[in-house]
Amino acid sequence: MHLPPLASALPVVLLSHRGPVTFTRDDDGDRTAGRGAGGLVTALTGLAGHLDHAVWVCVGASGEDAAVAREAAGSLVHLALDPEPRVLAHGDVPEGRTLLLRLVEVPPEVHDPFYGVISNPLLWFVQHRLHDLARTPSLGREDHRAFEQGYVVANQLAADAVVEQVEKAGGRAVVLLHDYHFYLVADLVRQRCPDALISHFVHIPWPGPDAWHVLPPDLRQRLLTGLLGADVVAFHTRADARAFVLCAQELLGLPVDLASMTVQTAGRRVRVRAYPISIDVPALEAVAHSDASDEHLVDLDHQVGEGSLVLRVDRTDPSKNIVRGFQAFDLMLSEHPELHGRVVFLALLQPSRQDVPEYASYLTEIGASATAVNAHHGTGAWQPVDLRFAHDMGLATAAYRRCDVLVVNAVADGMNLVAKEAVVLSERDMVLALSEATGAHDELGRFAVTLHPFDVAQQADALYEALTMPAQLRRDRREHAAWVVHRNDARRWLSAQLEDLAELAVTGDEASDAGHGE
């Protein structure tokens, strides 16, 4: 589908840890490019190709990505995005969308502590409140070193690359920074590019001030100050935006205004906003209409027959609450023997961050809890849980089309795009069983069966309610939910941000605070 370019009068520089492509070597030793992983990257890739003059800065950390970063040595890599990403040679004129990529080489001795000690175990765990506070975290010298020699250095390297791109654009550009890997970058860029318009989007939950006391004062203050280098700090929900404003007030002692959602710092007024991210509906539908998706659908129909399919699609992240989900399914089967042989729980899980011990042990727990359900209830002819470790959009889209219930019971989740994908693709008026602790619940909770992530008994009741919901109610709710997602798609998410930044560019600090605070 041809869409007009998104409106940005200024050149755009994007930064995220993962990029739109990841490079590998095939069996013949030739370099190949594939799509980058994760919801953030999927959403941004769909959009970045529609932005004129966009440069996407990302990290080339290991393997072939690092080799490409080294060879490029700071110059831009020209990518064609359709139908699959590939590097364009000089003079190639591709059809479809293109993108300029700047890969930042971050050496392993910096990347390992940056990603494997600070970003994922520490910041991710603080923000999703995953610590077991009687025991973890227990910050030692190594963690402090990891912050200084890993997180800080990686942020400086990323900031250097962003600054270089902004300077090449004449010093005035829109800078869109993303996620918890780069909380120090906005301030570093502002110091060197005072005319840039900087936004930092936090894609994961932002807890209130108490949760941040887990981090030493110096560390949490530096992270907050870094973020406040932006003109706009953005989140998926108003609750997260509000929590950030309260942190600025309580942890930094800054004057804030909760009515206009602004923080006063160093003579500037930083806007704090909420823009709920969404999915690229046409791109998703294209995958769902592929032969691969159709073939998987035939297999699933054959497997489930006249029965019901409960589905979850997740990374194997402790925040996704996969073990409690299996426990709830187990309880429901114990209390409703009439469902035996008539329901399958398909879990499509993508192993994630296996270099972090907590993630490796969680993967083991997932396997054990799925095995326990099958041991309790399974028969020769029926295995209630079908656990598959896979990252296959053909299979995932087929499962979305066929499922009767989609389970999202996350402990905490910035948005959760799986919920949005499923309501759009469902061909059976699936019921969304959705955790109240997801950003998606703000938009879709009215059309879902709400799950309380720590209450296994409630989840069992909710699953039963979802599986037995009358057809007309399922249809009404699913159609309304799909309408909400179509209306507020990924394109609208980005254009709302660009419009607000454009307004800021014109009116400066005196801008009205009416903004798009929703």
**319 forms part of the interface with ligand G6P (CB under 6 A):** no
Binding mask of the shown chain, residues 345 to 364, with x at each position contacting ligand G6P by CB under 6 A:
-------xx-----------
Q: In terms of CB distance, is 148 or 355 closer to ligand G6P?
A: 355
CB 414 → ligand G6P: shortest distance, Å? 6
Tell me the one-letter amino acid at 516: H
| Residue whose C-alpha is closest to residue 370's, from 307, 324, 335, 334 | 324
Q: In terms of CB distance, is 296 or 353 closer to ligand G6P?
A: 353
Among 19, 20, 39, 276, interactor with ligand G6P by CB under 6 A: 39
CB 415 → ligand G6P: shortest distance, Å? 9
Q: In terms of CB distance, is 161 or 256 closer to ligand G6P?
A: 161
Q: What are the Cα distances from residue 489, in Å, to 107, 277, 279, 283, 363?
A: 37, 8, 6, 11, 32
CB 490 → ligand G6P: shortest distance, Å? 14
Quickly tell me which residue has 């329901």 as its tokens.
343
Tell which positions 160-189 bind ligand G6P, by CB under 6 A. 179
Half-sphere exposure (CA, 13 Å, Cβ side) for 97?
25
Tokens of 457: 């008994």
**269 forms part of the interface with ligand G6P (CB under 6 A):** no
| Residue whose C-alpha is closest to residue 288's, from 387, 427, 479 | 427
**203 forms part of the interface with ligand G6P (CB under 6 A):** yes
Q: In terms of CB distance, is 169 or 437 closer to ligand G6P?
A: 437
Collapse the DSSP code of 510 into the 3-class scheme (helix H, G, I; strand E, B; otherwise coil) and give the result: helix
CB 352 → ligand G6P: shortest distance, Å? 6
Task: Compute the distance between CA of residue 182 and CA of residue 202 in angstroms, rounded to an integer.
Answer: 10
| Residue whose C-alpha is closest to residue 397's, from 428, 422, 423 | 422
Q: In terms of CB distance, is 18 or 190 closer to ligand G6P?
A: 18
**38 forms part of the interface with ligand G6P (CB under 6 A):** yes
Q: Residues in contact with ligand G6P, total (CB under 6 A)?
A: 11
Angle at 33 between CA 27 and CA 35, to 5 degrees: 125
Q: In terms of CB distance, is 18 or 478 closer to ligand G6P?
A: 18
With contacts defined by CB under 6 A, name the span among 38-46, 148-156, 185-193, 337-345 that binds ligand G6P: 38-46
Tell which positions 5-24 bind ligand G6P, by CB under 6 A. 17-18
CB 77 → ligand G6P: shortest distance, Å? 19
| Residue whose C-alpha is closest to residue 74's, from 100, 45, 46, 104 | 104
SS3 sequence of 227-265: HCCCCEEEECCHHHHHHHHHHHHHHHCCCEECCCCEEEE
Count of helices and strands (H, E) across the chain: 20, 19
CB 40 → ligand G6P: shortest distance, Å? 4
**143 forms part of the interface with ligand G6P (CB under 6 A):** no
**128 forms part of the interface with ligand G6P (CB under 6 A):** no
Task: Compute the distance between CA of residue 400 and CA of residue 312 in angstroms, rounded to an integer.
Answer: 9
Task: Compute the distance between CA of residue 388 and CA of residue 381 in angstroms, rounded to an integer.
Answer: 18
Tell which positions 409-438 bind ligand G6P, by CB under 6 A. none
CB 253 → ligand G6P: shortest distance, Å? 29
Give the residues lining the site for ligand G6P (CB under 6 A): 17-18, 37-40, 179, 203-204, 352-353
